[in-house]
């Protein structure tokens, strides 16, 4: 049982923690993008468990190079620590989180209340996603929610930013989210994807993070479409492949991924596939550089290769 004193102590602890967080309410990610500075983002996947040490290690090693960290929300429909909690943790140790929210696991009410909580604790970037289907992951028998979709979610967040919930009720304290969404530039066919992209812009999206891009040529078609939208920021997804096996696995199992056979062959014939993988990613990234506002670097389990990738990418041709 808690005594009056320990309650008082807890209260003080919470106030100190919150003040610390509130003092860090600068949004470097938004500021850079809006000033047309090139940004780098990367991904952090919370654990299935309560351990935060891996996040801390990634943050420590990449904080100086990466502008913001995308915190996945039960990635691939696998149950993990919440993106909200991990985002708050990242903010508390000096990182800039991008809080991911998928529509798969929470209804509209739960999404809204988590957004209010995130905003209250200093989270200012959000990435709205539909969410991989429930049967991909480790809770195959769970009810897929999808009460609303990503376009609706963007509209809701825009409303929260204006001080109202989705039903027009006034908020006591509004949010200040920089709103992101996903787009797949290599989608085949592209037109239905572009229709949704346009709806997301209409709904109030500020920036887009693309699915991993492997073909600059395919990206070109998407670029020709979006270059007309001046205010939209595009961050291209870059995936560092460590082997031909991973490439084949992704082509077969990851929704929306298109890795050309020429890349699979290049990795297959390489004596040092990771080195080749880094070179391939840097080559693709260089091809996209002048068309995008930043890169989202995905390196699942090989985050230590990100500095090498950046070195490769930033090298003059």
Partner 1 sequence: MIVTKQKILDDIIKKIKGSVFIFGCGICSDTSRTGGPKEVEAMRKTLESNNIKVNGAYVIDAMCHLQKVKKAIRDNKEGIESSESVLVLSCGSGVQSAVNSINLIDKHKKIVSGVDTMFIGNIESLSSLKEMCSLCGQCVLNETSGICPVTLCPKGLLNGPCGGMKNYKCEVDENLDCVWVKIYERSSIQNSLEDIKKIASPKDYSVKQPVGSIKFKGSH
- Binding test (CB under 8 A) with partner 1, winner from 61, 78, 82, 130: 130
User: With binding defined as CB under 8 A, does residue 193 bind partner 1?
Assistant: yes
> Taking contact as CB under 8 A, which single stretch among the options 16-24, 88-96, 196-204, 274-282 is the one that binds partner 1?
196-204
Query: Does the footprint of partner 1 cover residue 62 (CB under 8 A)?
Result: no
Which string of x and - marks every residue 131-170 that binds partner 1 (by CB under 8 A)? xxx-x--------x-xxxxxxx--x----------x----
Binding partner 1 by CB under 8 A: which of 192, 231, 272, 316?
192
| Torsions phi, psi for 232 (to 5 deg) | -90, 130
CB of 181 to partner 1, least distance (A): 10
Site residues for partner 1, window 209-248 (CB under 8 A)?
211
Task: Report the residue from 48, 139, 202, 221 that binds partner 1 according to the rule CB under 8 A.
Answer: 202
Does the protein bind partner 1 through residue 199 (CB under 8 A)?
A: yes
Binding status of residue 256 toward partner 1 by CB under 8 A: yes
* 187 is a contact residue toward partner 1 (CB under 8 A): yes
Chain positions contacting partner 1, by CB under 8 A: 103-104, 108, 129-133, 135, 144, 146-152, 155, 166, 182-184, 187-189, 191-193, 195-196, 198-199, 202-203, 211, 255-258
């Amino acid at each position: 049982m808690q005594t009056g004193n320990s309650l008082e102590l807890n209260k003080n602890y919470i106030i100190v923690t919150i003040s610390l967080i509130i003092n860090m309410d600068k949004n470097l990610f938004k500021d850079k993008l809006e000033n047309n500075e090139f940004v780098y983002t990367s991904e952090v996947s919370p654990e299935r468990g309560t351990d935060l040490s891996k996040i801390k290690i990634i943050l420590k090693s990449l904080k100086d190079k990466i502008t913001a960290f995308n915190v996945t929300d039960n990635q691939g429909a696998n149950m993990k620590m919440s993106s909200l909690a991990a985002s708050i943790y990242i903010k508390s140790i000096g990182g800039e989180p991008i809080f991911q929210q998928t529509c798969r696991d929470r209804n509209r009410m739960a999404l809204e209340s988590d957004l209010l909580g995130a905003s209250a604790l200093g989270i200012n970037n959000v990435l709205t996603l539909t969410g991989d289907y429930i049967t991909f992951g480790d809770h195959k028998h769970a009810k897929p929610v999808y009460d609303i979709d990503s376009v609706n979610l963007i509209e809701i967040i825009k409303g929260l930013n204006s001080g109202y919930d989705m039903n027009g009720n006034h908020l006591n304290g509004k949010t200040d989210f920089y709103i992101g969404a996903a787009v797949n530039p290599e989608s085949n066919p592209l037109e239905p994807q572009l229709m949704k992209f346009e709806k997301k812009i209409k709904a109030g999206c500020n920036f887009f993070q693309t699915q991993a891009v492997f073909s600059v040529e395919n990206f070109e078609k998407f670029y020709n479409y979006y270059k007309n939208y001046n205010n939209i920021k595009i961050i291209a997804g870059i995936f560092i492949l460590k082997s031909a096996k991973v490439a084949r696995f992704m082509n077969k199992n990851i929704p929306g991924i298109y890795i050309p056979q020429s890349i699979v062959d290049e990795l297959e014939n390489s004596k040092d596939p990771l080195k080749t993988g880094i070179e391939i990613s840097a080559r693709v990234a260089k091809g996209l550089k002048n068309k995008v506002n930043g890169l989202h670097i995905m390196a699942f389990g090989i985050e230590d290769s990100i500095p090498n990738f950046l070195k490769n990418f930033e090298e003059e041709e």
